[in-house]
Amino acid sequence: MLDSTLQATLDGVLARNPGEPEFHQAVREVFDSLAVVQERHPEYHDMAILTRLCEPERQIIFRVPWVDDRGNVQVNRGFRVEFNSALGPYKGGLRFRESVNLGIIKFLGFEQIFKNSLTGLPIGGGKGGSDFDPAGKSDGEVMRFCQSFMTELHRHIGEHTDVPAGDIGVGAREIGYLFGQYKRLTNRYEAGVLTGKGLDWGGSLVRKEATGYGATIFAQEMLGARGTSVEGRRTVVSGSGNVAIYAIEKVQQLGGIAITASDSSGYVIDEDGIDLELLKQIKEVERGRISEYAERRGGRSRFVSDGSVWNVPGDVALPCATQNELHERDAKKLVENGVIAVSEGANMPCTPTAVEIFRDAGVAFGPGKAANAGGVATSALEMQQNASRDAWTFDYTEERLTDIMRQIHTNCLETAEEFGRPGDYVLGANVAGFRKVADAMMAFGVI
Ligand code: NDP
């Protein structure tokens, strides 16, 4: 229950942003956690910190015209929401998917503020994207779209202003086209303007692996706090994109058995453990469908097109596909099947009711803004390397990532304890992320 002032602030935010359910969901979750902070820090309310935090500093919406392979003119919509720059330049990925709209970008940008704060690195929060879907498009079409998208976006970004990266539908290929066009338009080799770049042109080792590795490391830390580990644990993973693939890789490195992967057409189950080389070949190289994995595993795996991957029993669950992919019934099933830890590789994959079910059942639950922060943290490490014109080794960069994930875990745990809710990583992440941003905003006055 929120007190009346917090409730009034929340009502104001919801009323000012109609028709944006995902944004409302993300804001509500943060407000639920912040009741305890408001009691101790009335000055935040006096300075309207929360009201200001929920209003993006800048929102850019633009037309993206491009010509397809048949010579037809196509028009998409581009977005960049520069949400909060209290701690550093806006930082957050670009999502290219048909379902993208302003509300989705705002939910992602809002989450990003707290996530970036938790990394301990000097980065603010932002997010962008388009309702363009690269799936089924030729390389030429993707290139022309990216060039058109950047022709507008380049006015708004810069290494000290706003630094985009990838997200769903935006991988190394798209970042290459976007960076090429930025370089051409500005006549500057400003490597720090985008992250997730190729290794030959300013990218960082471990960036590709970072989000998935980080989500599994977070699970390992949560299990460690309970005196156990990922080793020998059956792990159920959703998604088969960048995050899922490297979450699986880290599970295997830690001695766990990842038994599933999925995409929007269904999931595969492989009791022997996912064959990672085959999965990478199908998904990263051929851009194929997950059903092909089962076809090529020769009877050792099966593809399920109807039903939820969360019906598969496992000790650990790593949702790594998209928002609101794990519902109440899925959470109940996972608990019934004995899950002990859930670490969100994706952003907000578990619905609020699912999160409550995990909490009530005593499952260790790592929210995305903490558990998947490894990606953006390594992006910030990429920016550091660009600024110093240096390139770090894989081992050193991975060590930094692991340290950051451990620090985030400890910070969440200690903050939850401080506010009387031991083991509540949601509260810990929201409060720890918020305090740093709020204090910086207090220092800057009303801006
Ligand atoms: P990718 O595009 O590489 O992969 C997304 C995967 O999720 C694909 O397998 C896709 O299947 C599947 N998927 C997407 N939508 C749905 C859906 N509605 N139902 C079922 N499956 C779906 O994206 P990423 O791996 O980069 O991102 C995954 C999640 O992680 C997102 O929530 C993203 O915001 C979050 N994230 C990503 C970071 C990163 O560094 N990449 C950083 C932090 C968070 P299909 O091929 O069928 O579309």
Residue 171 structural domain? 58-188
160 plus 256 within the same structural domain: no
45 plus 69 within the same structural domain: no
- Residue 39 pLDDT level (bands cut at 50, 70, 90): confident
Kindly give the distance from the C-alpha atom of residue 321 to the centroid of ligand 1, in angstroms, as a whole number: 4
CB 146 within 8 A of CB 173: no
Q: What is the average per-residue pLDDT within 232-251?
A: 98
Buried b (16+ CB within 10 A) or exposed e, 390-422: eebeeeebbebbbebbeebbebbbebbeebebe
Assigned domain for 292 exists: yes
236 plus 117 within the same structural domain: no
Quick check: CB of 240 below 6 Å from ligand 1? yes
Q: Which atom of ligand 1 is nearest to the CA of 210?
A: 40
Kindly give the distance from the C-alpha atom of residue 122 to the centroid of ligand 1, in angstroms, as a whole number: 26
Quick check: CB of 164 below 6 Å from ligand 1? no
Q: What is the average per-residue pLDDT within 141-163?
A: 98
228 plus 290 within the same structural domain: yes
CA distances for 259 relative to 34, 288, 319, 364, 394, angstroms: 37, 19, 13, 20, 27
* Chosen domain end from 336, 366, 396: 366
Residue 165, pLDDT > 90, answer yes
Kindly give the distance from the C-alpha atom of residue 191 to the centroid of ligand 1, in angstroms, as a whole number: 25
225 plus 348 within the same structural domain: yes
78 plus 157 within the same structural domain: yes
The per-residue pLDDT for 50 is 96
Look at the alpha carbons of 115, 157, 208, 239 in this order and tell me if their dihedral is positive or negative: positive
pTM of the model: 0.96
35 plus 92 within the same structural domain: no
318 plus 223 within the same structural domain: yes
Residue 38, pLDDT > 90, answer no
216 plus 361 within the same structural domain: yes
The per-residue pLDDT for 48 is 95
What value does the mean pLDDT of the chain take? 97
What is the secondary structure of 382-416 as a DSSP string?
Answer: HHHHHHTT----HHHHHHHHHHHHHHHHHHHHHHH
What's the domain count of the chain?
3
The per-residue pLDDT for 406 is 98
Assigned domain for 420 exists: no
Q: What is the average per-residue pLDDT within 111-130?
A: 98
Assigned domain for 101 exists: yes
Q: Which atom of ligand 1 is nearest to the CA of 95?
A: 34
The per-residue pLDDT for 280 is 98
The per-residue pLDDT for 244 is 98
289 plus 340 within the same structural domain: yes
Quick check: CB of 241 below 6 Å from ligand 1? yes
Looking up residue 299, the CATH number of its domain turns out to be: 3.40.50.720
In this structure, the strands spanning 73-84 and 58-67 are antiparallel
- Residue 122 pLDDT level (bands cut at 50, 70, 90): very high
Quick check: CB of 377 below 6 Å from ligand 1? no
138 plus 44 within the same structural domain: no
